[in-house]
Amino acid sequence: MATRPTGDDALAADPFDWQVTKSGNVLVFRGGRQIVTVGGKAGAKLGAQLERADERAAQQLLARATGNYKHGNER
């Protein structure tokens, strides 16, 4: 029986991609599909954080921005 990757393993197996637009919005993609647009002050803040982050930290930021992250209550 195969197990699904969890946490950082899942992000490494199926990472997020992103693009910052001229207007400062952050477009977040996963699996080649756009899943969310982060705009306004939140988009500007996320874009600045992504510029400074390494790949692992960027994946964590994007997971949080999409709501696709562990909440700590999974078993």
| DSSP string of 8-75, one letter each residue | HHHHHHS-EEEEE-TTS-EEEEETTEEEEEE-HHHHHHHHHHHHH--HHHHHHHHHHHHT-S--S---
What is the pTM (predicted TM-score) of this model?
0.76
pLDDT tens digits along 25-67: 999 999 999 999 999 999 999 999 999 999 999 999 999 998 8
